[in-house]
């Protein structure tokens, strides 16, 4: 069974930058594809770069390879503590690592509606940059309250005939050419694809039918930590609780990026987290 100094689970911005900072350590990076959320992003906001998401993913992957990391394509299914270190298993391989960084990001959210799974890919999407052009000249909606949900709505105005942002709670700031409906999606209508979203407005009025051929779900995302060991402390959203050095409640186990508690969602923060987690792991691995 291969032994490593460091294993990084998740190859998005946080995991790739963690690997890029691991020069001198034998490092394994496990991810189903590489790039994570970056692969869903076109132009990047808040970074001083002309790169798109996939460009940045390719650059970070190159830096990780230059630092000597090895990439295993797969999904970690279990992580257990052994006397030799952390044992991580994918469907095909098992590895032992002295320290591990959890950089698994957040899983797509769901609305909890009965026919949601069958609408996936037939109107329901999680990525405006990927699927927005499919809805040229058609009405679409976005469900979610985060600033990324608002950005998705704004991006979709380039393609769609009409964009509605369905956002429960406090009124979000206005967005040009986007109708904001304060409420919750409670139903999806359509036979061979989505035709409309049924929304329960916050004001307690009767449900409103919002015509939409596409619905972009940006709500209900949770940390993808189902494989993680017993004893890992988590916050209310299921993210790994960490201290200032990004150490979790378990020895030699760190968490970075969207997967950890208190993370302020952005690419610069994910990149900084990756580097910090590796620095802490390196410290934990250094005797004395
Ligand atoms: C719609 C949207 C738009 C955004 N736009 C911007 C922007 O313009 N500018 C900006 O600064 N930020 C933006 N962000 C935020 C930014 O993209 C994220 O904060 C950042 O990408 C998070 O990186 P991460 O590495 O923590 O997670 P992710 O990028 O989600 O990476 C996690 C990786 O872990 C993998 N993984 C999960 N489970 C396992 C497992 N069991 N085994 C192995 N691998 C696993 C996943 O497949 C994925 O590749 C946006 C976010 C969203 C949702």
Q: How confident is the model at residue 220 (pLDDT cuts 50, 70, 90)?
A: confident
pLDDT in the model for residue 106: 94
Nearest CA to ligand 1 atom 53: 148
Counting the structural domains of the chain, the total is 2
The pLDDT score that the predictor gives to residue 189 is 97
SS3 assignment, position 260:
strand
Alpha carbon distances (Å) from 2 to 8, 159, 192: 14, 49, 48
Residue whose C-alpha is closest to residue 37's, from 189, 224, 215: 224
pLDDT in tens, 166-209: 999 998 899 999 999 999 999 999 998 999 999 999 999 999 99
Are residue 56 and residue 130 in the same domain, yes or no? no
- Which range is least confidently modeled, 9-13, 14-18, 110-114, 247-251? 110-114
Tell me the three state secondary structure of residue 287.
Answer: coil
Q: Tell me which of 104, 153, 269 to substitute to probe ligand 1's pocket, judged by most ligand atoms within 8 Å of the beta carbon.
A: 104
Residue whose Cα lies nearest atom 21 of ligand 1: it is 37
Could you write out the three-class secondary structure of 65-132? HHCCCEEEECCCCEEEEECCEEEEECCCCEEEEEEEEECCCEECCCCCCCCHHHHECCCEECCHHHHH
> Which pTM value belongs to this model?
0.93
Return the CATH number at 45: 3.50.50.60
Q: What are phi and psi of 149, to 5 degrees?
A: -65, -40
Domain's final residue, options 217, 251, 274: 217
CB of residue 224 inside a 6 A radius of ligand 1: yes
Q: Which structural domain, as residue segments, surrounds residue 61?
A: 3-107+221-285
Distance of alpha carbon 142 from alpha carbon 178, whole angstroms? 10
Task: Show which of 217, 243, 262 is a domain's final residue.
Answer: 217
Is the domain of 33 the same as that of 126?
no
Residue 94 and residue 120 in one domain:
no
**Is 1 a residue whose pLDDT tops 90?**
no
Express each pLDDT in 29-52 by its tens digit: 999 999 999 999 988 888 888 999
Q: Please name the residue whose Cα sits nearest to atom 9 of ligand 1.
A: 45
141 within ligand 1 shell (Cβ under 6 A): no
pLDDT surpasses 80 at 222:
yes
Ligand 1 pocket member 30 (CB < 6 A): yes
Judgement on whether residues 179 and 204 belong to the same structural domain of the protein: yes
Q: What is the pLDDT of residue 46?
A: 85
- Burial of residue 247 (CB within 10 Å: 0-12, 13-18, 19+) is buried
């Amino acid at each position: 069974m291969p032994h490593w100094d460091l294993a990084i689970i998740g190859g998005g911005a946080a995991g790739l930058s963690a690997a890029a900072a691991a020069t001198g350590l034998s490092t394994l990076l496990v991810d189903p594809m590489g790039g994570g959320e970056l692969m869903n992003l076109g132009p990047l906001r808040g970074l001083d770069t002309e790169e798109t998401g996939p460009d940045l993913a390719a650059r970070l992957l190159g830096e990780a390879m230059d630092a000597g990391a090895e990439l295993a394509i797969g999904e970690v299914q279990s992580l257990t503590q052994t006397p030799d270190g952390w044992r991580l298993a994918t469907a095909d391989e098992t590895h032992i690592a002295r320290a591990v960084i959890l950089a698994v990001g957040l899983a797509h959210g769901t609305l909890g509606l009965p026919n949601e799974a069958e609408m996936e890919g037939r109107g329901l999407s999680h990525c405006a940059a990927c699927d927005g052009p499919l809805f040229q000249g058609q009405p679409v909606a976005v469900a979610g309250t985060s600033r990324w949900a608002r950005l998705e709505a704004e991006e979709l105005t380039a393609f769609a005939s009409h964009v509605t942002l369905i956002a429960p709670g406090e009124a979000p700031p206005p967005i040009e050419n986007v109708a904001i409906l304060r409420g919750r999606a409670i139903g999806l209508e359509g036979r061979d694809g989505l035709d409309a979203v049924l929304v329960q407005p916050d004001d307690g009025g009767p449900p409103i039918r919002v015509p939409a051929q596409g619905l972009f779900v940006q709500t209900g995302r949770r940390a993808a930590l189902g494989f993680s060991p017993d004893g890992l402390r988590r916050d209310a959203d299921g993210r790994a609780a960490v201290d200032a050095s990004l150490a979790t409640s378990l020895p030699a186990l760190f968490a970075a990026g969207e997967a950890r508690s208190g993370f302020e969602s952005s690419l610069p923060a994910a990149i900084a987290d990756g580097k910090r987690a590796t620095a802490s792991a390196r410290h934990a691995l250094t005797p004395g």
